[in-house]
Amino acid sequence: MTARVALSEADVQAALGTLAGGWLTMGPRIQALEAGVAERFGVAHAIAVSSGTTALHLACVAAGVQDGAGAVVSALAGPSAVNGPRYAGGRPLPADVTDAADPVLTAEAAAAAADAGTKAVIASHLAGVPADAEALRAAADERGWVLIEDVTDALGATLASGRPAGTAGHLGCFSLAPGRIVGVGEGGLVLSDDDALAARVRSLRSHAMTSVTWDRHRGHAESYDIVDIGFNFRMDEPRAAIAGTKLERLDELVAGRRALADAARDAATGVRLAWSDAQLAGAAPQAVALVLDDPAGRDGLIARLGERGLQAGPWPDAWQGASQPPVAADARARSVLVDLGAAEGEGLAPAALAAAIAAALGA
């Protein structure tokens, strides 16, 4: 699924300012973005990286999901969460969800999916709906795991306690890809209150160098050493500048996305909807999930939605043919996700989105 990146005049001017300044990577806008995100989310560390995928990759490395170690992942999670452990040299362990209309990973299901080599659990806030990250954090602490929150769909969501999604885990991973509520083209963030984990992520994103070019430019270092096998996972300055201006409008952007979700759900008569109103209260919705009684109707509905200009599809499957837990497999067979980010990128108003969904369901 793809989506356009909507840019305001403030976003454009912020990006142009970086071009005029001549410093295009890992400079003052990165510093400002990281400081602003850490302050807004109330965490000690925010690290800008090149994508949500690299955020999850680095989080898995920092969590020790290497050399065959396991990380529990919701069987309905997207490819970045499933592949993050693989990139790091570990194994994703699929955990089942509660129900097709309640596609959540519980602490009990995570424990059932874990094995003796488990190092982490990845709590995905699927389609922008908050998982019970605080219960999963308690389970992780009890077992000595690292909780990685996959917030790639959910920047701006809040947990049931009121704290921001991405701050209950040891590490929180965000995406700034097209179609996300804060989309800049490509980009990601890693949040943490753990000094050691944050230092590891910060080092590995830039070749594990002991200093970066901006440090040397400011006279804070004269040379560098390379102390580990690192990566080139840095964000550039124009995208950091755009992210900064969009984050200033985060509440407005989340409200607009919720209006689309409300309209879509109101229009989806005759089918079940995933998640309850209580679960959706803190959502930063990325998609609306329609749950069909008959799986044979799934692909036809996807096609009809496409004919009306909407991007829709089933839950992603990144397990490469591996056997799936039964409830998640059933949810994938009977669910259709309508992409709200793509609809927003095309400029669809809530009423137009609702009309398209109603027409597709009534056809």
Same domain, 148 and 17: yes
The helix/strand/coil state of 264 is helix
Same domain, 234 and 290: no
Same domain, 40 and 188: yes
Q: Is residue 83 part of a domain?
A: yes
Q: Is residue 3 part of a domain?
A: no
Q: Is residue 239 part of a domain?
A: yes
Residue 230, burial from CB neighbour count under 10 angstroms (0-12, 13-18, 19+): middle
Q: Is residue 4 part of a domain?
A: no
d(CA 81, CA 65): 12
pLDDT tens for the chain, 363 residues: list them: 457 788 999 999 999 999 988 888 888 999 999 999 999 999 999 999 999 999 999 999 999 999 999 999 999 999 999 999 999 999 999 999 999 999 999 999 999 999 999 999 999 999 999 999 999 999 999 999 999 999 999 999 999 999 999 999 999 999 999 999 999 999 999 999 999 999 999 999 998 776 556 555 465 555 567 767 889 999 999 999 999 999 999 999 999 999 999 999 999 999 999 999 999 999 999 999 999 999 999 999 999 999 999 999 999 999 988 888 999 999 999 999 999 999 999 999 999 999 999 999 997
Same domain, 18 and 141: yes
- Kindly state the tokens that stand for 160: 């049931």
Boundary-marking domain end, from 196, 225, 248: 248
Q: Is residue 134 part of a domain?
A: yes
Same domain, 155 and 220: yes
Q: Are 26 and 206 in contact (CB under 8 A)?
A: yes
- Kindly state the tokens that stand for 249: 């409008």
Same domain, 244 and 280: no
d(CA 240, CA 37): 11
- Kindly state the tokens that stand for 156: 């701006």
Same domain, 172 and 36: yes
d(CA 59, CA 191): 10
Q: Is residue 152 part of a domain?
A: yes
Same domain, 142 and 276: no
Length of the chain: 363
Domain count, the chain: 2
Boundary-marking domain end, from 189, 219, 248: 248
Same domain, 301 and 345: yes
d(CA 74, CA 149): 12
Q: What is the CATH classification number for the domain harbouring 239?
A: 3.40.640.10
Q: Is residue 241 part of a domain?
A: yes
Q: Is residue 199 part of a domain?
A: yes
Q: Which amino acid is at 324?
A: Q
Same domain, 299 and 219: no
Same domain, 99 and 19: yes
Boundary-marking domain end, from 228, 248, 268: 248
Same domain, 181 and 293: no
Per the structure, the complete domain to which residue 187 belongs is given by: 9-248
Q: What is the CATH classification number for the domain harbouring 322?
A: 3.90.1150.10
Q: Quick one: how far is CA 261 from the chain centroid? A: 18
